[in-house]
Amino acid sequence: MFKELLKNPKALMWALVFHVLIIVLLLLSFKFTDRPSVDTNVPVQMVAPEGLPLPEEKVTPPEQAATPPATPPETETATLPPTPPVTPPEVKQPVVEPQTSAAAAEKAAEVAEAEARRKALADKRAKEIAEENERERAAQAKRAAAEAERKAEAKTDARRETLAEEKRREAEREKADAKAKAKAEALAQEKAAAKAKAEAATKAESSAREKSEAIAREKVEAAAKEKSEALARKQAEEDKARTALEADRQLAEDRERWKAAEAKRKAAEADADRQLAEDRERWKAAEAKRKAAEEAARRNAAAATGNGGNAGSGGPSARDLGSARSAWASAIKRKVKGNWRQPSERFGMSGTARLKVNAPGTIGRFSLNCNGSPAFCESLKAAIHGSDPFPKPQYDELYSDTLVITFE
């Protein structure tokens, strides 16, 4: 219940205000209720039972009659109506005869005693009335509190019933919504299932059609492939036969070219050997001539100085010329290699150049014995011609020599 009240703070506030007003009204009703007054001067008529004599009437003296009776304290009452006054019966005053002072005193004492008894009875009655009024007031307050509590409980029960009714309606609404949602979901599922079934059927039909088309296409492709493969095999066989014939022809041509090249190479080698032999012979003759000239120069120098045993040499020795020739050939080889743009395919290829250099470094005679591809031989030949002029030798006597340089 408190959770429901907390959900509606406005209703909770009005309920608190209503309870506060009820409590204030109860307090005001206790404070401002009229209090009934009790008349204590009403004489009490005493009725004696049958068979008992009534007490004698006593005459109140004038002094006592003039004195007003003591007023009992007021009794607080809540909602009881005031008690109506009781009219005392008229009492006939007996004729008082003159008596003695003793009799008068006794008479006064009896009157006072009767008055005391009457007063005590009146006080007791007033007390009983006050207690009854108090009990009635307490009962009324209890009834009012019970009524207020009953009204509050009735209001709380009504609010609880209202909340329960709202909760029940909410539950019914949620139940109806859930039912509608479940129905919609079931309908959607049925539609989805029908759609999936239709799509599956369409897909199956499409798959079957595609499968049949794929089978037919594979058959056509297989036939075309088999035909193309047959043509390719035939063409390959023809190409292979043609290639074999071409290879045989090329091999025969290469063999013939090799034979011609080999014969040419051998002729060139023979020519080179012959040329080398001739150069060697010429060099020997020149060397002998030079030595003879040196010897004649030494003899002439010795004869001129008269000291033939201490004469010095007039030119380089053969050893010096050999060292200078090797150094000159290495210098020429380095320059040629620096100008040589070798082809990429040169493995195992080489070339031997026979070179005679004239002063001051130009080519006098040149021949190349090349063992390699045409590109290799042509590049070597171009490098040798491109290196002209060549470096100078240490001795001018080497210009007449033929240098043999091998390039790899």
C-alpha–C-alpha distance, residues 10 and 1, integer Å: 15
Q: How high is the pLDDT of residue 119?
A: 92
Query: For 122-167, how does the pLDDT look when each residue is reduced to its tens digit (9 = 90+)?
Result: 999 999 999 999 999 999 999 998 899 888 888 888 888 888 888 8
Give 235's contacts (C-beta < 8 A, 6+ positions apart).
Answer: none
3-state secondary structure of 358: strand
Query: Contact, 344 vs 330, CB < 8 A?
Result: no
378 closest CA partner among 386, 228, 268: 386
74 closest CA partner among 133, 117, 141, 29: 133
Is the pLDDT confidence value at 253 over 60?
yes
User: In the structure, what pLDDT confidence band is assigned to residue 284 with cuts at 50, 70 and 90?
Assistant: confident
Name the one residue in this structure whose structure tokens are 């079931």.
186
Is the pLDDT confidence value at 34 over 80?
no
Query: Contact, 130 vs 77, CB < 8 A?
Result: yes
Q: How high is the pLDDT of residue 5?
A: 65
* Residue of higher predicted confidence among 258 and 407: 407
* Residue of higher predicted confidence among 95 and 126: 126
Among 26-30, 207-211, 369-373, the minimum mean pLDDT is found in 26-30
How confident is the model over 257-274, as a mean pLDDT? 75
Q: How high is the pLDDT of residue 306?
A: 53
Is the pLDDT confidence value at 277 over 70?
no
Among 74-88, 92-106, 159-173, 245-259, the minimum mean pLDDT is found in 74-88
User: In the structure, what pLDDT confidence band is assigned to residue 305 with cuts at 50, 70 and 90?
Assistant: low
What percentage of the chain reaches a pLDDT higher than 90? 15
Query: Contact, 42 vs 118, CB < 8 A?
Result: no
Residues paired with residue 352 on neighbouring β-strands, in sequence order: 369, 406
The phi and psi torsions of 179 (rounded to 5 degrees) equal: -65, -45
Q: How high is the pLDDT of residue 396?
A: 84
* Residue of higher predicted confidence among 69 and 263: 263
3-state secondary structure of 147: helix
Query: For 377-399, how does the pLDDT look when each residue is reduced to its tens digit (9 = 90+)?
Result: 999 999 998 888 888 888 888 88
* Residue of higher predicted confidence among 83 and 215: 215
How confident is the model over 18-47, as a mean pLDDT? 66
91 closest CA partner among 64, 50, 58, 47: 58
Is the pLDDT confidence value at 30 over 70?
no
* Residue of higher predicted confidence among 397 and 352: 352
Residue 296 one-letter amino acid = A
111 closest CA partner among 167, 150, 57: 57
CA distances from 391 to 187, 362, 370, 394 (A): 107, 9, 24, 10
Q: How high is the pLDDT of residue 92?
A: 47
Is the pLDDT confidence value at 251 over 70?
yes
User: In the structure, what pLDDT confidence band is assigned to residue 275 with cuts at 50, 70 and 90?
Assistant: confident
* Residue of higher predicted confidence among 81 and 129: 129
Q: How high is the pLDDT of residue 64?
A: 45
Q: How high is the pLDDT of residue 45?
A: 53
Residue ranges of the domains in the chain?
2-34+61-80+101-178, 320-408
Give 27's contacts (C-beta < 8 A, 6+ positions apart).
Answer: none
Q: How high is the pLDDT of residue 129?
A: 93
406 closest CA partner among 332, 324, 318, 342: 332
Name the one residue in this structure whose structure tokens are 């030079």.
290
The phi and psi torsions of 370 (rounded to 5 degrees) equal: -105, 135
Query: What's the CA angle centered on 18, arms 14 and 20, to 5 degrees?
Result: 120
User: In the structure, what pLDDT confidence band is assigned to residue 207 with cuts at 50, 70 and 90?
Assistant: confident
Mean pLDDT of all residues belonging to the chain = 78
Is the pLDDT confidence value at 28 over 70?
yes
C-alpha–C-alpha distance, residues 150 and 138, integer Å: 18
Residue count (the chain): 408
How confident is the model over 21-40, as a mean pLDDT? 67
**Which CATH class, in words, describes the domain spanning 320-408?**
alpha beta
Please give the distance of CA 171 from its chain centroid, rounded to a whole number. 40
Is the pLDDT confidence value at 215 over 90?
yes
